[in-house]
């Protein structure tokens, strides 16, 4: 069998015909330095729910998909179809980062995930406030 060049390969690590939504979700979660328990808590879902998503036994609703994309720093399109901004294929030739750099990146990713979760909670409270104001009028 002839080898194909990287430019013509269609079997990239996270391609739609190779990886499932659950594979991409798990890969993005791991790249963000989050454990399943941490991500489930930040999303406000049960651990089993997140595990079912990663195992392709269930799919999140639209609002959770948007939160996932934001928390994991990937595009919604990439999570769903493997197209758009997502994770790069693992590159074994890339030099490893120092422990300090890895820790700093992990902390940045955690902070970003927390900021996204906080923004979502703020939006929920704002919606409740608007509904309460309409009811009072």
CB 19 within 8 A of CB 83: no
Is residue 20 a contact partner of residue 7, using CB atoms and an 8 Å limit? no
Neighbours of 33 (CB within 10 A): 16
State the chain's mean pLDDT as an integer: 80
The pLDDT tens digits for 99-136 are 888 888 778 777 877 777 788 788 889 999 999 999 98
Q: Which sequence spans correspond to the domains of the chain?
A: 21-136
Residue 20 burial (10 A CB sphere; 0-12, 13-18, 19+): middle
- Cα angle value 35/81/12 (rounded, 5°): 80
Q: Which residue from 82, 94, 64, 98 is spatially nearest to 28, judged by alpha carbons?
A: 82
> What is the rounded distance in angstroms from the CA atom of residue 16 to the CA atom of residue 74?
15
| Least confident stretch, 38-42, 52-56, 107-111, 122-126 | 107-111
Check residue 54 and give its pLDDT. 94
If one compares 10 and 83, the residue with the highest pLDDT of the two is 83
Cα–Cα distance for residue pair 137/132, rounded to 1 Å: 9
Convert the pLDDT of each residue in 8-32 to its tens digit: 333 466 666 678 899 889 989 988 8
Architecture of domain 21-136: Orthogonal Bundle (1.10)
């Amino acid at each position: 069998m002839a080898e194909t060049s990287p430019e013509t390969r269609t079997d990239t690590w996270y391609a739609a015909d190779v990886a499932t939504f659950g594979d991409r979700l798990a890969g993005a979660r791991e790249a963000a330095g989050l454990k399943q328990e941490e991500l489930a808590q930040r999303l406000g879902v049960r651990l089993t729910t997140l595990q079912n998503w990663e195992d392709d036994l269930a799919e999140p609703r639209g609002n959770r998909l948007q939160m996932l994309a934001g928390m994991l720093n990937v595009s919604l399109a990439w999570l769903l179809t493997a197209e758009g901004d997502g994770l790069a294929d693992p590159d074994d030739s890339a030099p490893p980062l120092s422990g300090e750099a890895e820790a700093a990146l992990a902390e940045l990713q955690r902070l970003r995930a927390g900021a996204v979760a906080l923004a979502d909670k703020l939006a929920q409270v704002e919606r409740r406030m608007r509904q309460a104001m309409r009811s009072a009028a």
